[in-house]
Structure formats: structure tokens, C-alpha cells
Amino acid sequence: MSQAWMIISGKGGVGKSMITSSLGIALAKKKLPCCCVDMDIGLRNLDMLLGMQNKVVYDVLDVARKDCKIKYALIQDTRHSDLCMLPAAQLGDVKDMNADDMARIVKKLKKRVPYVLLDAPAGIGRGIENLLPSIDHSILVTTPDDVSIRDAERVIELLEKAGKPRPMLVVNRVIPDMVCSGEMYSPQTVAATLDVPLLGFVPEDRRVLAAINRHESFMEQECAAAAAIERIAQRFLGEHVLMPAFPKPRRGLFGRRRRSKEETFGM
């Protein structure tokens, strides 16, 4: 049975679109057809993360207005035959759509693919309200800091009021060294604070930004972030995958901390 998942965050800039695109690629690599939908009307960026920015002709607003059929707006990934994307409108406003429009679009997409990943706009505004009636489950993306966690609490309250299941949590931009030294919350602490199940976490990885700047996906590389997303995809599909342990600090001469080989985290 097809499922519609909303990827949501309390605040912008936590890597929500990165999680959406990379999870979509991870599912496609497993030969599981998936469609990533950019719902951030007016601030389209999912196309750039998937390297499809030069292929956009029609967008989700065109489909909502019935200016084109959904099959003409979908963009097929050339590297992964099981992945496609429905882009957001770069011009327009979230008020140009309503919940009925979104329900119709999601229903059509669920007939095409088993997994629909809806990249929601940040916050708790009209864009989220349009999506809520159509989704089956949600993934909450946050970073391990108080500001992001507080905003995430508001998102959870919104989902509860709408009668939706509690979201799965992905903690992004985790720095293992800082977690070990007590300078950063662990993903488990964030999950316990929000009282939601931890789907996984992604360590800070400079190759993510490098790939974004090249309009490529880091999922095509062997890096810590890609390995983390692969584990998240396995748990997403119901597989039992242990969370990687954080490396314990090693002390060298005069008590100075030494880096261990394990600190090439996630490989």
C-alpha cells in the first residue's frame, strides 16, 4: 500500500530538503519507486539538490490549477529510474493552493509510486495545513540545539491536534566530537526531549555542502552522511539497524585528546 510521508521541520535551515532528496535516492537505489514533492511554494530548491534544475517545465501549482496533467510535471531522475520529482512553483503563493488540491495530487502520486515524500515548508503555516489531510506519516528534521528543538515541539503539537501519528525523528548536523565532550546534545537526548522515536541522525560532513554547491547529490559518494542516510532508509523500511556508537575520547601524552580511527564517523 502506498504511503505519503511529510518531511517537516520547525525552523528553516536544518537540512529538511537534503533529507528528503537523499532519502528518495536511497529508496530508489533499493528499486523502490519514490516521488519527491517540493511543497515550498515560492522557494523551490529540491530540484537543485537532485540536479534537475534545468528540467523544470511545469510545477505543482500548474497541476493544482489543472493547467497540465501530473505526468507532464513529473521529472524523471536520469541516474535512478525509480526516482522522480514534482517541483514547487518558484512564482506564486501558498494561498494559491488548498488542502483539496493537495489531496488530489497526493492521491494520483500514490497510484504511481509506493512512497511519496513531501518536502514541506518550514514552520507551521498554511503550507503545512494544506498537507496534513493527505499524509499518512511524517519525519521531523531538527538540529541538536535548543532553538531547533523548541520549534520542533510546536510541530509535534500541530500534528497531534490534526490527529496524526507522532513523527519519526532525524537529527541532522551532529558533530561526534562535540557530543563526546558534552558540548552538543546527542541524538538520543533530542529524541527523549521531544518524546518521539529516533529514525536516525546525520553527522556533519563537508562533502554534503560541496555536493550541494555542485548541484549534485552526496549519495553518489562514499562519505559519512551517505552512510547515515542509507541506515535511515533501512530503518524507514522497518529493518533493525543499530545506531552507531559515538567514539570515546582517547587521551595521549600529557592528557591531550587523540583522534581515533573511528572518528571517520559513519563509514
DSSP state of 135: -
Q: CA-based diameter of the chain, in Å?
A: 70
Q: Are strands 83-86 and 34-38 parallel, antiparallel or unpaired?
A: parallel
Residue 51: name the closest of 15, 20, 19, 79 by CA. Answer: 79
Q: What is the pLDDT along the chain (267 residues), one digit of tens a residue?
A: 899 999 999 888 899 999 999 999 999 999 999 999 999 888 888 999 999 999 999 999 999 999 999 999 999 999 999 999 999 998 888 888 899 999 999 999 999 999 999 999 888 878 888 899 999 999 999 999 999 999 999 999 999 999 999 999 999 999 999 999 999 999 999 999 999 999 999 999 999 999 988 888 999 899 999 999 999 999 999 999 999 888 766 554 444 444 443 344 443
| Residue 249: per-residue pLDDT | 60
| Residue 125: per-residue pLDDT | 79
- Residue count of the chain: 267
Q: By three-state DSSP, how is residue 80 classified?
A: coil
Phi, psi of 119 (to 5 degrees): -80, 95
| Residue 63: per-residue pLDDT | 96
| pLDDT per position as a tens digit, 113-130 | 999 999 998 888 788 888
Residue spans of alpha helices (H) in the chain = 16-29, 46-49, 60-64, 70-73, 99-112, 126-131, 146-161, 176-181, 187-194, 206-213, 224-236
